[in-house]
Structure 1
Amino acid sequence: MKVGLIGFGKTGRAVATVLLESKSTNLQWVVRQSTTLEHRSVPEFLGIQSDEPGLIYSKDEFTADQLLDHMPVDVIIDFSHETGIDYYAQAAAKRGITIVSAVSQYEPAALAKLKDLSDKTIVMHSPNITLGINFLMIAAKILKNIAPYTDIEIIEEHFKNKSEVSGTAKVIARELGLAEDAIKTVRAGGIIGTHEILFGFPYQTVRLKHEAISREAFGNGILFAVEQLNGKSKGFYSMEDLLLPYFKLQENEEQNILENRRPWWKFWIENEQRSK
């Protein structure tokens, strides 16, 4: 699958590494704001043996139409900024190119513009596209549904110089129906990113925690998303849409569980009887 990458900062470079190492993707080009590294080869710059072109262009060198006519791709992956869609979105949509945006925050108008593109092509947006974070958010929502009156706290940890509250933590708070002041922040050293959701029950606590060890984790999420979106109908998708089917047990597994599992109240009665 031929892919193009928008954005080549620290995360973009880590994602490019994963794309180059994957056998399922072929990195055709990278577009960035700066003219620095223009016309360099991504494999050569990153020190990765690859036959993939992966040439770096600045967005002022070509229009998106010119670029996509010259070097067509199946998927565009965006790790740039909310204004990035102004460069490529319309050109990609009219060609039916899948758009995967991992931009952390969009203003409402920009997000609406992204969603409008889904009338023409497949569009997916995830503020944090790592598999672990998205699993954590789904698991947290399930637990909140089970115990809606539990005390919930969100703790996020990042590198010392990160001043703003984590965008991912804000998304977690919003998804759980919590105010942003429920977020506790820690700034220390070179922590890439740690997010923890603490559920406080009267007699127990549950902690759901995700820690990013390296930025390549975003690349793993991209590979999963690209694979899952392949063959889907045009429309707007989230990582939750792609992950939720995996939360359903297979029918034979469900049947085995139902046949072998005793109701919880029988187990409780037997325990009580044994203790007397």
Structure 2
Amino acid sequence: MKVGLIGFGKTGRAVASVLLESKSTNLQWVVRQSTTLEHRSVPEFLGIQSDEPGLIYSKDEFTADQLLDHMPVDAIIDFSHESGLEYYAEAAAKRGIIIVSAISHYEPAAHAKLKDLSKKTVVMHSPNITLGINFLMIAAKILKNIAPYTDIEIIEEHFRKKSEVSGTAKVIARELDLPEDAIKTVRAGGIIGTHEILFGFPYQTVRLKHEAISREAFGNGILFAVEQLIGKPSGLYSMEDLLLPYFRLQENEVETIADNRKPWWKFWIKG
């Protein structure tokens, strides 16, 4: 699958390295806001042996239509900023290109634009596209549904200079119908990102924890998402949509099914 990448910051570079090393994707180009590194080869810049072109362009060099006509792709992966949609979204949608957005937050107008684009092509948005975090959120919803009376706390840990509360922690709080003051923050050293959900039962404690060891974890999530989205009908998808089919245990036929209208869960065991 030919892919293009929007954004080339720390996370974008880590994702690019995973894409280059994957046999299922072929990195055609990277578009960034700055003209720095313009026309450099991503494999050469990252020190990765690859025959893939992966050339770096600035947004001002080409329009998205010109870029996609000259160097077509099957999917566009966005790790830039919510304003990035203005550059590529319409051009991608009218060509039926898969859009995978890992932007941490969209204002309502931008999110409405994503919904509009999803009428024309496959669109997926995930504020945190790592597999572990999305598994953690689904598991937390299941446990809360089983024991709604449980005390729940969210602890997020990040590097010392990160001032704001983790966007991922806010998403976890929202998905569990918890106030943001349920989030406890820790800032120390160079922690990339740790999120823990603590369930306090009367006679036991359950801790669900995810720790990002490196930013390449986002690349693993991208590979999973792109492979799952191939062949899907137009629509707006989340990582939860892609992961839910895997919540099936063959031995006991335990199935977890999400109601598409609301983020709550139903359980049953087939005899």
Fold shared per TM-score above 0.5: yes
Return the letter of the residue paired with 2:144.
Answer: K
2:242 is the alignment partner of 1:245: no
> 1-side partners of 2:156 and 2:209: how far apart?
10
Aligned twin of 2:214: 214
- Give the partner amino acid of 1:128: N
Deviation at 1:248, TM superposition (A): 1.7
1:254 to 252, 255, 258: 252
> How far 1:108 moved relative to its partner?
1.0
Q: Which residue of 2 aligns with 1:201?
A: 201
Structure 2 counterpart of 1:33, one-letter code: Q
Task: Say whether 1:122 aligns with 2:125.
Answer: no
Uncovered stretches (5+) of structure 1, i.e. residues with no partner? 257-276
Aligned twin of 1:19: 19
| Normalised TM-score (structure 2) | 0.93
Paired amino acid for 1:195: H
Select the structure that is richer in helix: 1
For 1:272, the equivalent position in structure 2 comes to none
Match of 2:176 in 1: 176
Secondary structure of the residue aligned to 2:118 is helix
2:91 aligned with 1:108, yes or no?
Answer: no
CA distance in 1, matches of 2:2, 2:253: 41
User: Could you tell me which residue of structure 1 aligns to residue 86 of structure 2?
Assistant: 86
Give 1:115 deviation, angstroms.
1.3
- Distance in 1 separating the partners of 2:188 and 2:252: 45
> Any idea what SS the aligned residue of 1:223 has?
helix
Runs of 4+ in 1 over 4 A off after TM superposition: none
Q: Offset at 1:249?
A: 2.3
Distance 2:177 2:96 in 1: 35
Answering whether residue 179 of structure 2 is matched by residue 164 of structure 1, we say no
Quickly say closer, same or farther: Cα 1:15–1:255, change in 2 above 3 A.
closer
Question: Equivalent residue for 1:34?
Answer: 34
Cα distance change, pair 66–255 in 1 and its aligned pair in 2 (3 A): closer
- Quote how far apart the aligned CAs of 1:254 are: 2.3
Task: State how 1:46-61 maps to structure 2 within 5 Å.
Answer: 46-61=46-61
Q: Report the counterpart of residue 7 of structure 2 in structure 1.
A: 7
1: CA distance, partners of 2:195 / 2:179 = 16
**Amino acid in the other structure paired with 2:179:** A
- State the secondary structure of the residue aligned to 1:171: helix
Q: Distance in 2 between matches of 1:31 and 1:229?
A: 22
C-alpha distance in 1 between matches for 2:236 and 2:11: 24
Give the C-alpha shift of residue 255 in structure 1.
Answer: 5.7
Q: Secondary structure at the match of 2:67?
A: helix
Q: List alignment gaps of at least 5 residues for structure 2.
A: 255-271
Q: Deviations over 1:179-232 (max 9, x none)?
A: 111100000000000000000000000000000000000000000000000111
SS at match of 1:197: strand
- Percent identity at matched positions? 91
The CA deviation at 1:35 is 0.3
Distance (whole Å) between structure 2 residues aligned to residue 83 and residue 174 of structure 1: 24
* Structure-1-length-normalised TM-score: 0.91
Q: Deviations over 1:60-119 (max 9, x none)?
A: 100000000000000000000010000000000000000000000111111111111000
* Greater shift in the superposed pair: 106-115 or 194-203: 106-115
Alignment partners' CA distance in 2, 1:82 and 1:189: 29
Alignment match, 2:133: 133
Quote the Cα distance in structure 1 between the aligned partners of 2:21 and 2:163.
33
* Secondary structure of 1:226's aligned partner: helix
Higher strand share: 2
Q: Distance in 2 between matches of 1:254 and 1:108?
A: 42
**Which secondary structure does the structure 2 equivalent of 1:100 belong to?**
strand
Q: Please tell me whether Structure 1 or Structure 2 has the larger radius of gyration of its CA atoms.
A: 1
2:144 maps to which residue?
A: 144
Aligned to 2:258: none
- Rounded to whole Å, the distance in 1 between the matches of 2:236 and 2:114 is 9
Once residues 200 and 171 of structure 2 are traced to their aligned partners in structure 1, the CA distance between those partners, rounded to angstroms, is 20
2:155 matches 1:155: yes
1:28 is paired with a residue of what secondary structure? strand
**Number of residue pairs aligned between Structure 1 and Structure 2:** 254
